[in-house]
Amino acid sequence: MKCPFCRDLENKVIDSRLTQEGDVIRRRRECLQCQRRFTTYERAEEALPMVVKKDGRRESFDRMKIVAGLKRACEKRPVGIEAIEAVVERIGRSLQEGGEKEVPSSIVGEAVMRELHGLDTVAYVRFASVYRSFQDIGEFMEELEQLIKERRGDGRPRKPRPR
């Protein structure tokens, strides 16, 4: 494992722990060259489906792309990295359990939207504005009005509108 600071390959494991879910091992390491410490995560390789993009390209499912998108949406919000990791884990598990060899990117995007809707409404609106490519303030306001209705009204969460 390369040290993220000096790029040296020699390091030692100081501590290993299972995450709460028990499917990831968190390891604290110390670089033998620069003596700085860093954390790595180890998980079993999963047989996740290929993601079919809107333009027809196929990509491997990349959990780090989802983590990055969630981090951007949750920036300066009271959402911890543990919650983001849990969201990505649930999405990955759901796709794996589905057993499909390929899934449209819209399925992944809508899963992220559902998870964010329950996690943080501000992060949800941020993500939705990018994911759905709102063309004008009217589309943005429709989404906000729907969220307001849910909070005041019957309390039933609505299904994200199809793209």
Identify whether residues 16 and 65 lie together within a single domain. Answer: no
Identify whether residues 66 and 132 lie together within a single domain. Answer: yes
pLDDT at 143 over 80: no
Identify whether residues 39 and 55 lie together within a single domain. Answer: no
Residue 111: Cβ within 10 Å count: 19
User: Which phi-psi region, left, alpha or beta, contains residue 56 (left: φ > 0; alpha: ψ -120 to 50)?
Assistant: left
What average pLDDT does this structure show over 138-145? 78
pLDDT at 160 over 70: no
Question: Where is average pLDDT lowest: 63-67, 75-79, 153-157?
Answer: 153-157
| pTM > 0.85 | no
Q: Is 3 inside any structural domain?
A: no
